[in-house]
Structure 1
Amino acid sequence: MKASVGRYGIWSLGLRSEDPARRGELAEAAAELEELGFGAVWLGGSSGVEHAVPLLGATSRLVVATGIQSIWQYEAAETAARFDALETSHPGRFLLGLGVSHARLTDRYRRPYSAMVEYLDALDAAGVPAESRVLAALGPKMLELSRDRAAGAHPYLVTPEHTTLARGILGDAPLLAPEAKVVLDTDPERARATARQALALYLTLPNYTNMFLRFGFTEDDLTNGGSDQLIDALFAWGDEQRIRERIEAFHAAGADHVALQLVDDGPRDALPRAAWRRLAELLR
């Protein structure tokens, strides 16, 4: 899977839609991303296997991954059946990203680690191979599970320092594909304001704020939308060289693949195709 996903991918809420009227738009966007050289697209939000169908049908090489499917929202048996159908029609091109979400986002949240183990057990029994799935992993226990029961990890909203930790736990073989946020803006005040708007929700979720504290940030860094230090650690912004260097810092820290999320002041479910073209150009 490492070779298939390549060095860069696109993470997008906009590529996940249940509106039949958007299928053509999504297919066209996916085809262009493949042409631009991205190896994978990650369907943001709690995406399911079914959301990958129109994108896989419109492309020939692109890997489509869920980033992330909530184990509370989709039963394992349903997921396995849909995976089997998709693997039959598009072998080796779908990556099942799984996560435990957050307590405030689902009333089913309980014993997240044990629940993930049970879910993986059910997928194993249904024949879904470990090499076709990755886990949303932030802490050591889930990273170890990513190493032992999946193809690797897809950590979200992390820094290169977290990538170093993750690689140390995973070892060399598993896929490490962190998500990284990019703001194509050279104005510091405006770029940080855009970043803070995107970060607001995550500052209410203990899974993330506890991680930030473990990596040396303070409670003060988490107030008022996030300190400049926190924003600059989590978002690549500035001129092309600065953005390129920030993205490459993840590779230097041990990432195999970086899933890039374009952040701007538009709707979160938009398809920023012009910005994706700019990003592809600066990565060449």
Structure 2
Amino acid sequence: MTSETRETFGRVGIWNGALHTSGADTDGKKAIEEAVAEIEALGYGTLWLGGSPSPDDAAAIVDATSTLTVATGILSIWNHTAEEVAARISALAPDARDRLVLGLGVSHDALAPQYAKPYSAMVAYLDALDAADPSVGRGHRVLAALGPKMLKLASDRALGAHPYLVTAAHTAEAREALGPDALLAPELSVVLDTDLDRARTTARAMLAMYLQLPNYTGNLLRLGFTENDFDDGGSTRLLDALFALGDAERVKARAGEYFDAGADHVALQVVTADGGRAGLPLAEYRELADAFGDEL
């Protein structure tokens, strides 16, 4: 990864799926704007908009910040055409456009009725982004890549990869597949709770949905887990490999395992007990920022 890319993304980012302004009322939009302003002020390098954000969601967050890199994590290629995405990005002011990174993914068969030939569909989507006027070139996009083919494509046609729901062992494999120069920015789910039994219960509530999606379970099976690890919301072995559980110092140590495995940037997703996902967990973001300090 180049020094410019490293500076663009920073070492640590925040991943949040509740920052969609589309459909939010006035109070909801205000709460989101205040939250992203604080995330920026805390010093995080990148804010990843999770939960299949729209181009309008991304544009709103870019407009609400001034220095923060904003990345979609991940925009589904089935939900928005490449031409639509390119047109929305081109409408941004130049300095705002420079801070937006388009994270793209092929989603899942169960979530996208038109899902078919995902690799070929991604190649065609990237071709369309290249052909748009103005284009959205490889320097402003990353791919949600898990397997070798998509990782290779991320290296060849994008800045790199943003893998979701992966272990440090996968990060090591991804680095080898990407090569030394591509960006590798895995997501790491975090439960800030020193009661590990309770933390694992919280983690299982969040993980249950993902264990219904073959793209994720297939990747975990390739990493050496078994079908038994998927029972009852996930085995202890699986949870401890996928999550950072404990206090903020433990989260920092777990992120270090991903860095040691070859990650350039780690996107932290705070998961709470209120339904498995946090809305705007600012207290947790402050706690993590204090723990990481100058490493952000």
| Fold shared, TM-score > 0.5 on shorter chain | yes
Q: Stretches of 4+ moved more than 4 A in 1?
A: none
Aligned to 1:14: 18
Indicate if the aligned counterparts of 1:29 and 1:271 stay in contact, CA closer than 8 A: yes
1:20: how far off? 4.2
Measured after TM superposition, the shift of residue 89 of structure 1 is 5.2
1:219 Cα deviation from its structure 2 partner: 1.2
TM-score normalised to structure 2 length: 0.93
Counterpart position of 1:239: 247
From 256, 260, 263, the equivalent of 1:252 is 260
Q: Could you tell me the percent identity over the aligned residues?
A: 55
- Could you tell which deviates more after superposition, 24-33 or 61-70? 24-33
RMSD across aligned C-alpha pairs, in angstroms?
Answer: 1.2
What residue is the counterpart of 1:193 in the other structure? 201
Q: Supply the distance in 2 between the matched residues of 1:60 and 1:172 (Cα, whole angstroms).
A: 30
User: Which amino acid in 1 is paired with 2:261?
Assistant: A
How much has 1:283 moved relative to structure 2? 1.3
State the 1:106 CA deviation: 1.2
Counterpart in the other structure of 1:29: 35
Partner of 2:92, secondary structure, is helix
Counterpart residue number, 2:170: 162
Secondary structure in structure 2 of the residue aligned to 1:95: strand
Aligned equivalent of 2:94: 88
Q: Deviations over 1:104-131 (max 9, x none)?
A: 0111000000000000010010111111
Query: Do residues 113 (structure 1) and 119 (structure 2) align?
Result: yes
- 1:1-284 alignment to 2 at 5 Å? 1-18=5-22, 19-21=24-26, 22-86=28-92, 88=94, 90-126=96-132, 127-267=135-275, 268=277, 270-284=279-293
Aligned equivalents of 1:168 and 1:89: distance in 2? Answer: 34
Q: How far off is 1:53 after superposition?
A: 2.4
**C-alpha distance in structure 2 between counterparts of 1:196 and 1:44, whole Å:** 19
Structure 1 residue 68: deviation in Å?
Answer: 0.4
Relative to structure 1, the CA distance from residue 208 to residue 87 in structure 2 (aligned partners, 3 Å threshold; closer, same or farther) is farther
**2:90·2:97 contact (CA, 8 Å) conserved in 1?**
no
Whether contact under 8 Å (2:272, 2:278) holds in the other structure is no
- Equivalent position SS for 1:81: helix
**1:201 shift after superposition:** 0.4
Distance 1:177 1:206 in 2: 22
Q: In structure 2, how many angstroms separate the alpha carbons of the residues matched to 1:204 and 1:87?
A: 40
Judged with a 3 Å threshold, the aligned counterparts in structure 2 of structure 1 residues 146 and 76 are, in CA distance, closer, same or farther, namely same
Name stretches of at least 5 consecutive residues in structure 1 with no aligned partner. none
Report the Cα distance in structure 1 between the residues aligned to 2:142 and 2:6, rounded to whole angstroms.
12
Pairwise CA distance, 1:92: 1.5
Contact 1:87 1:94 in 2 (8 A): no
Name the CA distance, whole Å, in 2 between partners of 1:106 and 1:89: 33
8 Å CA contact retained: 2:89, 2:97: no
Name the aligned partner's letter for residue 73 of structure 1: N
Provide the secondary structure at the position in 2 that maps to 1:183. strand
Shift of 1:87: 5.6
TM-score, length-scaled by structure 1: 0.97
State how far apart, in whole Å, the 2-side matches of 1:261 and 1:269 are: 9
